[in-house]
Amino acid sequence: MRIIIIGGGIGGLATYHALQKSLPSSTIIDVFEAHPSALTTNGLIGGGLSFAPNGQRALSSISPSALSYIHARGYAHPKVTFRNSYGGMVCQMPFGSKEKYSFDQFMCPRAVIHEALLLEDNMDERVNWNKRVKRVYETADSVKVEFDDGTIEVCDLLIGSDGARSVCRNALYGEEYASQYDGMTGVGGFIPIPSLSPSIQEGIQKEPQAIIISQNGTFGLSKCSHPSDPIQRVLWFCSFEISPPPSRTSPPIEHLEGLLARYGDWKSPYDPSPSTGLVREVLTKACEDGNNKWLILPRWFTPILPHWTSLHGLSETGSDGVATGSGRIILLGDSVHSMPPDGAQGVSCAVEDALALALILKRYPKVTTEEIKNVARAYEDIRKYRVNKILAEAKGRADRKREGSYLSLKIRETAMYILSWLPEGFLNDEVFGHDVEAEVVKYFA
């Protein structure tokens, strides 16, 4: 059997390792990635993210060494401090602790997770770089992949992990469910902690992940370096409503005035002085110092898709004119559920997808057309309901960050305060406690 994975991002690489571990060694697994090299993909995924306990649990089944690599390069933060823009405490919210879920919520650069998966099994040399897919389509007994360079590859099963602007998704839907800009843009980056005023440094030590919420956006700081890292860095991030989205390549300094107009007067108990607040200092440093890496990330999300595999039909571009779809094209990660970062679940859900798919395929080693249909069916049954629920919750959280009235902010603050006093399990068990291996066993039982 030959399996082709399109996309060498976090989802694609996690899938490669999961399949390698679960399938017979005679299975050929190839990864094709549009970027010319690992260096270019890593450069582009340069922000920071929260890796949730459920995602770490899935990765620990796929590659314990990749997880150890990640754990040595980030910061555990099992709770988040929320403050208002006057500096007042709203609440401290539990956000996934080791005691409860075996893994702490973990903040690290996105590049670290990608790197961990690339180092495993010498992936850098295995990925077919510089291969941009133009079209994929199914025939009666195979999937064909056409690349921009004119070459064609054929496989038994195609896994589309080519991100939010997926070409593989077109095989199922054409342009019908294209990802959409949701009107919110996130901006953020890293700053060395020692470059900040002493009072801000003290604040970061006391509240390693703190988010300020207000009527017109949010602003957060999150420690992102392992305690042993010689360069201690903090991730800053903010999000706000803007349409159309700003250019991703515009220089930071062009944005300073707009950011200060929005956030410059926000207060924090760790303000260096009454005239220069914490937020003002961080934004000014981020924009004025060309060495501080930062990103502009307009938020794209995929509308909820009715199906994740070609089992239920193909679009015009997805068929050779005869085939009607037998589940040989399977979507995974952001290609099928790109979600706003507010749910902090994008990477975790992609890694869960990868593990679930590998464990299902392991049960159908003959790979007949009938078996492939069963794989596609099981994958959708096991994954769709859970991920759609997380997607809806992430979208709800993102929407609550849009501009709103003073009253709606106060209601939100009160609700958060009450929730923060509930037992952690009430808030987080369903998402963070999820165990993919157990779910697959339960499904087949």
Q: Per rule CB under 6 A, is residue 112 in the interface with ligand FAD?
A: no
Name the phi and psi angles at 302, rounded to 5: -95, 130
Q: Per rule CB under 6 A, is residue 179 in the interface with ligand FAD?
A: no
Q: Per rule CB under 6 A, is residue 80 in the interface with ligand FAD?
A: no
Span from 137-145, 193-201, 213-221, 346-354 in contact with ligand FAD (CB under 6 A): 346-354
Task: Answer yes or no: are the C-beta atoms of 216 and 284 closer than 8 Å.
Answer: no
Element (H, E) at 351: helix 346-362
Provide the β-strand partners of residue 189.
236, 294
Tell me how far, at minimum, the Cβ of 231 lies from ligand FAD, in Å: 21
Task: Answer yes or no: are the C-beta atoms of 401 and 211 closer than 8 Å.
Answer: no
Q: Per rule CB under 6 A, is residue 167 in the interface with ligand FAD?
A: yes
Q: Per rule CB under 6 A, is residue 34 in the interface with ligand FAD?
A: yes
Q: Per rule CB under 6 A, is residue 182 in the interface with ligand FAD?
A: no
Q: Per rule CB under 6 A, is residue 41 in the interface with ligand FAD?
A: yes
Helix (H, G, I), strand (E, B) or coil at 230: coil
Residue selected from 49, 111, 118, 213 as contacting ligand FAD according to rule CB under 6 A: 49
Tell me how far, at minimum, the Cβ of 425 lies from ligand FAD, in Å: 21
Task: Answer yes or no: are the C-beta atoms of 46 and 293 closer than 8 Å.
Answer: yes
What is the contact mask toward ligand FAD in residues 291 to 330, using x (rule: CB under 6 A)?
------x---------------------------------
Tell me how far, at minimum, the Cβ of 315 lies from ligand FAD, in Å: 16
Residue with tokens 């999820």: 434
Residue selected from 3, 6, 118, 278 as contacting ligand FAD according to rule CB under 6 A: 6
By beta-carbon proximity to ligand FAD, the closer residue of 56 and 326 is: 56
Task: Answer yes or no: are the C-beta atoms of 203 and 269 closer than 8 Å.
Answer: yes
Q: Which of residues 127-166 bind ligand FAD (CB under 6 A)?
A: 132-133, 161-163
By beta-carbon proximity to ligand FAD, the closer residue of 83 and 110 is: 110
Query: Angle CA(382)–CA(112)–CA(209) in degrees, nearest 5?
Result: 85
Contacts of 143 (CB under 8 A, 6+ apart): 4, 136, 137, 154, 155, 156, 157, 158, 328, 329
DSSP string spanning 57-87?
HHHHHH-HHHHHHHHTTSEE-SEEEEEETTS
Residues in contact with ligand FAD by CB under 6 A are 6-12, 32-35, 41, 47, 49-50, 110, 132-133, 161-163, 167, 186, 297, 333-334, 341, 344-348, 350
